[in-house]
Amino acid sequence: MHPMTWSLVAALWVERVVSATCPNKTASPLAVPIRDTQVDPSIANSTMRGIPAKIGTPPQDIVMIPWPDLNNTYIYDAQSPCNPNVVANDVVCRIRRGGEYQEANSSSFAKSSDLVAAGGATQEITTRGSEAGVPKLISTSLAGTEVLQVNGTNATAFPIGIPRQIWDNGYTTLHVLGLGSNSTYLDALVRAGQIPGRAWSVFWGRMWTGSSATDMDGSLVLGGYDEEKVIGRNFTQPLDYSEETGCWTGMKVTVSDMVLNFRNGTDASIMPHNSAVQCCIVPQRQLLWEAPTDIVGQFEEATGTVDAGYSLGLNRDARLINMTATPNIFDGDVTFVLSSGLQVRVPNDQFIVPHADFLDSGERSVNQSQKEILIAPVDSNPATLGRAFFTAAYLLVDHDDRSFTLWQANPTTRSKLVAAPGSSSGKAAGCGGVGGGQGDAGDGSGAGSNKDATIQGRGVSAGVIAGAAVGGAAVLAGIVALVFFLRRRRKRNREGEMAPAGPLPQPDRARGSAEGAVPGSMPKLAEMRADEYHRPQEVHGESLAPPGAGLQETGRPLTFELDAAEQRR
């Protein structure tokens, strides 16, 4: 082999083995605002709250939402349907989607035969409780690669799926930024040396306060979290995606009490002892709490609320308050007491909010004199803590550490970003021994600030191009690393004991894949149904979805399920 070819191969090998899995520890986390964004410039008040982003060439504006239980990123075009039971017309569909991507108008869209061929993740989670269409998303979506820009970062040749079926429930309709355990987006940022690790965190901000002075943008942090936005000690738990937990985001917590904090200083618990509720944290859901029916009843009784059914607006399923029959609308806060010891006090104006909906024209209308409570009763569905919880709590998901962490939130616009513990602890897959030396390999591109640098998708050719493009520096670093590795291995072999026989010098990687491949934890695809509306009886304080779920309507078309959703009340 020609020496130059050899060194290129070596460099690519090192790129694959080292930088493909080892984060750039000197990179800083990135903050991305979550804010009210006008979706269509020609329609006043066509507002959705989410992450403003740009896709394609020339760039098209879209609004995205972080999605913890999807690995791939899904973008809607004009042919991605909305649930007609939820969304009035095509204009409202387009606005609630956060804009429609038009791939035909983008010179950078490259169609692939399917999402996996585009370099996408091969699996989405199929645990019951996630949105009904998730198991078929990968196989049914139109797929390709695109340029995706989120807050100045630029992911090129990035794999996207374009849904061709109604897969969600229509309430959380924005374009999906997939942040699951095998997130292609986090992967792309880590590979490009843009963020220090595969972690993200979220604070939803404050909305509906009726004043722009007290409303506040939220933020998504990629690669770490915002130290200014947390208070007190952290509460860390392992991420557990196993089917047995019944929690499809991997984040199950136990709410052991809910306390009403009346204005006069009196606190009153509304949950009897031994009635703890296991909840799945689902920050993309539109409410505060999807709670067992009897607890919603106790809340209404204790607060003197008469409801008028459920909302069909933007906060769909929230309890509408009968404004004439409820003389004193509850003006106190609520405190969630988790079994971990964390207490989260949600202020009144973040869960008793004005009714908001979209007019047929695509304008968001807010009726300040019709209030609704962001709590919904669930009978057979798992209880969830949704986005309004994160007006008062702060969430970090650290895939490198396989954990998630909750804090009480400090609602502030101040910001101090720090890397997540997983990226510095060396727990990141494959970063045991060899990782250290790759720090500056990427600098050959001459990119000034790290936000301007280009991020390559995970497509094989993309990685190769990236490896080649960084040029001399990478080749040099590759040779250095290879020589370093060979010398170290020779040295170990001389010493004669601990060196493993295999060619890969990566104990942590071996451990990582072993953990990922526990035979018992493999999902039984044929058995599963990620169907929110056909779930076995809920058990308070017990497993959310007991095994042996019984008969499942696996063969039924999705339209049936959506109708069932309408009928469940």
Binding site for ligand NAG (CB under 6 A): 24, 26-28, 31-33, 44-45, 57, 69, 71, 102, 104-105, 108, 121-125, 147, 149, 151-152, 154, 156, 180-182, 193, 219, 234, 236, 241, 262, 264, 266, 308, 322-325, 363, 366-367, 369-370, 396, 405, 421, 429, 441-443, 450, 452, 454
Name the minimum Å distance from CB 476 to ligand NAG: 13
Q: Cα separations (Å) of 562 from 76, 246, 527, 530?
A: 19, 21, 21, 13
* Residue 161 near residue 141, CB atoms below 8 Å: yes
- Give 78 or 276: the residue with its C-beta nearer to ligand NAG: 78
Name the minimum Å distance from CB 333 to ligand NAG: 13
Q: What is the DSSP letter of 300?
A: H
Report the relative pairing of strands 403-409 and 393-398 from DSSP bridges.
Answer: antiparallel
The residue number with the shortest CB distance to ligand NAG is 193
Strands (E) in 239-316, as ranges, are: 252-261, 267-269, 277-281, 289-292, 307-310
Return d(Cα 270, Cα 295) in angstroms, integer: 7
Return d(Cα 554, Cα 531) in angstroms, integer: 9
Name the minimum Å distance from CB 188 to ligand NAG: 12
- Give 323 or 486: the residue with its C-beta nearer to ligand NAG: 323
- Give 68 or 292: the residue with its C-beta nearer to ligand NAG: 68
Which residues, other chains included, contact 314 with Cβ-Cβ below 8 Å and sequence gap of 6+? 286, 356, 357, 358, 364
Name the minimum Å distance from CB 464 to ligand NAG: 16
Name the minimum Å distance from CB 47 to ligand NAG: 8
> Among 285, 260, 244, which residue's Cα sits nearest to residue 387?
285
- Give 31 or 562: the residue with its C-beta nearer to ligand NAG: 31
Name the minimum Å distance from CB 417 to ligand NAG: 10
- Give 124 or 131: the residue with its C-beta nearer to ligand NAG: 124
Q: How many residues does the chain have?
A: 569
Name the minimum Å distance from CB 233 to ligand NAG: 6
Name the minimum Å distance from CB 124 to ligand NAG: 6
- Give 234 or 343: the residue with its C-beta nearer to ligand NAG: 234
- Give 366 or 564: the residue with its C-beta nearer to ligand NAG: 366
Q: What is the 3-state secondary structure (H, E, C) of 437-448?
A: HHCCHHHHHCCC
Residue carrying structure tokens 């599963």: 528
Q: Read off the amino acid at residue 52.
A: P
- Give 437 or 499: the residue with its C-beta nearer to ligand NAG: 437
Examine residue 58 and say whether the peptide bond preceding it is cis (omega within 30 degrees of 0): yes
- Give 372 or 562: the residue with its C-beta nearer to ligand NAG: 372
Return d(Cα 77, Cα 477) in angstroms, integer: 42
Burial class (CB in 10 A: 0-12, 13-18, 19+), 220: buried
Q: Dihedral (C-alpha) 39, 41, 46, 52: value to the nearest 10 degrees?
A: 20
The structure tokens listed for 519 are 């035979």
Name the minimum Å distance from CB 13 to ligand NAG: 16
Taking the CB of residue 335, how many other CB atoms lie within 10 A of it?
17
- Give 175 or 198: the residue with its C-beta nearer to ligand NAG: 198
* Residue 478 near residue 470, CB atoms below 8 Å: no
- Give 183 or 256: the residue with its C-beta nearer to ligand NAG: 183
Name the minimum Å distance from CB 422 to ligand NAG: 8
- The torsion angles phi and psi of 493, rounded to 5 degrees, stand at -60, -35
Burial class (CB in 10 A: 0-12, 13-18, 19+), 305: buried
Name the minimum Å distance from CB 438 to ligand NAG: 6
Return d(Cα 426, Cα 432) in angstroms, integer: 6
In DSSP terms, which residues pair with 176 in a beta bridge? 65, 74
